[in-house]
Amino acid sequence: SDLFRPRRCLIAHNDSHNAPAFTAGRIEEEIEPLRDSDFEYFCWEGGGGVVTWPSKGARRYGEDMTHFPTALDRQIIENLQRLEAEGKDPIVMARDHARKIGLKFLIAPRMEAFGVPPPLDELFNSTIFNEHPEWRCITREGEEIPRMSYAYPEVQDCVLEQYQEVLGYEPDGLSLMFNRGAPYLLYEQPLVDGFKERTGQDPHELDEWDEEWIQYRCDVMTGFMRRVRKLLDELPPDGGAPLELIAFVL
């Protein structure tokens, strides 16, 4: 009976920013304690700004760098390079061991990890952040902040291209981390113009918690999530279950 069947209801998350983990065998050691536990999913963080896999459009973590903001980052990058020289891929290692012990494996991109303040900017700032300040979020007062806005189709396209790349690792789905780096859109010109066209109102003249203005911005993010779902539906595993989509929110 389903009533008495054990239910696994926990999700484990590894942010993949751990120097000892990126050595042969240690990735498996970090996952192994989840065997025969209440955990159903193991999420491996990857993507958002810089990435740890060969990418066509995104910067690789530590690419072309000789000086690092912390000793930890140097150790992680050196260990990653050693793994790669041995022909080993940490995402593959994490995926295979998670599945070996009966867990579903998800890739967990940060939704707003495009740019960070100094002294970490040289290491973590993404290509799109450095090259396209015109796509950044704008506050109600008209000030640019270090966030990329999903109001711009180009930002959404960049993110989806990254998802398509990482789905090549054949995970069981994606776990989107909305709890890292909000906000995702504010008062960018496409939003302001679109809202004026729909309602005849300037959102700058409304309360920032105006329900109609908030709903308008929600519709933009809903549209993005539909694009993610469509991407997952177009890449089903051979003979397997549909790819899952999980969202961690504030």
Residue of 18 and 243 predicted with greater confidence: 243
- pLDDT 10s digits, 218-250: 999 999 999 999 999 988 666 678 899 999 998
Residue of 178 and 121 predicted with greater confidence: 178
- pLDDT 10s digits, 81-114: 888 888 988 899 999 999 999 999 999 999 998 9
- Distance in angstroms (rounded) separating the CA atoms of residues 242 and 232: 8
What one-letter code names the amino acid at 22? Answer: F
pLDDT of 55 above 50:
yes
The alpha carbon torsion through 190, 220, 11, 13 (nearest 10 deg) reads -10
pLDDT of 165 above 80:
yes
pLDDT classification of 1: cutoffs 50, 70, 90: very low
What one-letter code names the amino acid at 139? Answer: T
Q: How far is CA 197 from CA 193, 194, 202, 204, 221, in A?
A: 6, 5, 9, 14, 19
- Can you give the pLDDT at residue 103? 95
pLDDT classification of 27: cutoffs 50, 70, 90: confident
pLDDT of 63 above 90:
no
- Can you give the pLDDT at residue 46? 81
Beta pairing partners, 246 = 175
pLDDT of 57 above 80:
no
- Can you give the pLDDT at residue 240? 72
pLDDT classification of 2: cutoffs 50, 70, 90: low
